[in-house]
Amino acid sequence: MARLPRLNLPNIPQHVVQRGNNRQVTFVEADDYVVYLDKLKHYAKLHEVKVHAYVLMTNHVHLLVTPSTGKGVSQLMQSLGRYYVRYFNQAYKRTGTLWEGRYKSTLVDSDNYFLVVSRYIELNPVRAGMVEHPVEYTWSSYQHNGAGKNIDLITEHALYHDLGSTPIIRQERYRILFTDEIPAITLEEIKSATDKMWVLGSEKFKQQVEVLSGRRASPLPKGGDRKSVVFTEKRLK
């Protein structure tokens, strides 16, 4: 079956995941994280992509970004990926690929999912058992969004700004969001939509994306036409 074109629409947030090939380590020393974030900032600006949240794990990366153009995220990930592979190979005297094929991504329905995806990303080190709270993890946007450390890379989304009239209030209310666990069904919904590159959102949002993109925003019902009236009638004959 032909691979569906990637969903890329301007001014709609995307959750992006890129993993190391065969789950191999992609960050070894602190310098590696610093280089990646520095180049993420550089290429995000170059390709007009706003970065709202991120986490750099030892063998994969999560980003929550909004492109200004339809090709912005693809251009960002291509430029960043190529640069970082060259850097990593030179630094550790290795050759070959580093990343696992194409990055995964999903369009995010801001009104219903933006803040929960931001939390999903920043809670990765907690779910992995690396820390007990996201504030303890250095390589995450929680340092900006929740802890108040200014990170130039971050562009605060309008929904984050709506949390309060001052940075201190926004940070406090953002931290409060982390007192509630993300339901397991929502965790799976985010993971599945991203890995399979469908749309994460309400049915109305998915329909809007389909009109704008010209491709399906979610998988067909299991069994295709098996649930149709015609199919049912044939079975009864």
Residue 230 scores a pLDDT above 60: no
Residue 2 scores a pLDDT above 70: no
Question: Is there a contact between 55 and 139 (Cβ–Cβ < 8 Å)?
Answer: yes
Query: What pLDDT is recorded for position 18?
Result: 97
Question: Is there a contact between 173 and 163 (Cβ–Cβ < 8 Å)?
Answer: yes
Query: What pLDDT is recorded for position 234?
Result: 38
Q: Tokens 């180049």, residue?
A: 39
Query: What pLDDT is recorded for position 215?
Result: 85
Q: Which CATH number among 3.30.70.1290, 3.40.50.12160, 3.40.50.300, 3.40.50.2020 corresponds to the domain 14-236?
A: 3.30.70.1290
| H or E segment and range at residue 212 | helix 203-213
User: CB under 8 Å, gap of 24 or more: what pairs does 1-6 form?
Assistant: 4/197, 4/215, 4/216, 5/215, 6/74, 6/102, 6/105, 6/197
Is 171 in a helix, a strand, or coil? Answer: helix
Query: What pLDDT is recorded for position 108?
Result: 97
Q: What ranges do the domains of the chain cover?
A: 14-236
| Model confidence band, residue 3 (pLDDT cutoffs 50, 70, 90) | low
pLDDT tens per residue across span 10-58: 999 999 999 999 889 999 999 999 999 999 999 999 999 999 999 999 9
Query: What pLDDT is recorded for position 6?
Result: 81
Name residue 54's beta-bridge partners: 63
| Model confidence band, residue 222 (pLDDT cutoffs 50, 70, 90) | low
Residue 232 scores a pLDDT above 60: no
pLDDT tens per residue across span 111-160: 999 999 999 999 999 999 999 999 999 999 999 999 999 999 999 999 99
pLDDT tens per residue across span 58-109: 999 999 999 999 999 999 999 999 999 999 999 999 999 999 988 999 999 9
Query: What pLDDT is recorded for position 227?
Result: 43
Is 67 in a helix, a strand, or coil? Answer: strand
Q: What CA–CA distances, in Å, run from 73 to 37, 40, 95, 155, 174?
A: 15, 11, 26, 15, 26
Q: Tokens 């890379």, residue?
A: 153
Residue 206 scores a pLDDT above 50: yes
Question: Is there a contact between 64 and 14 (Cβ–Cβ < 8 Å)?
Answer: yes
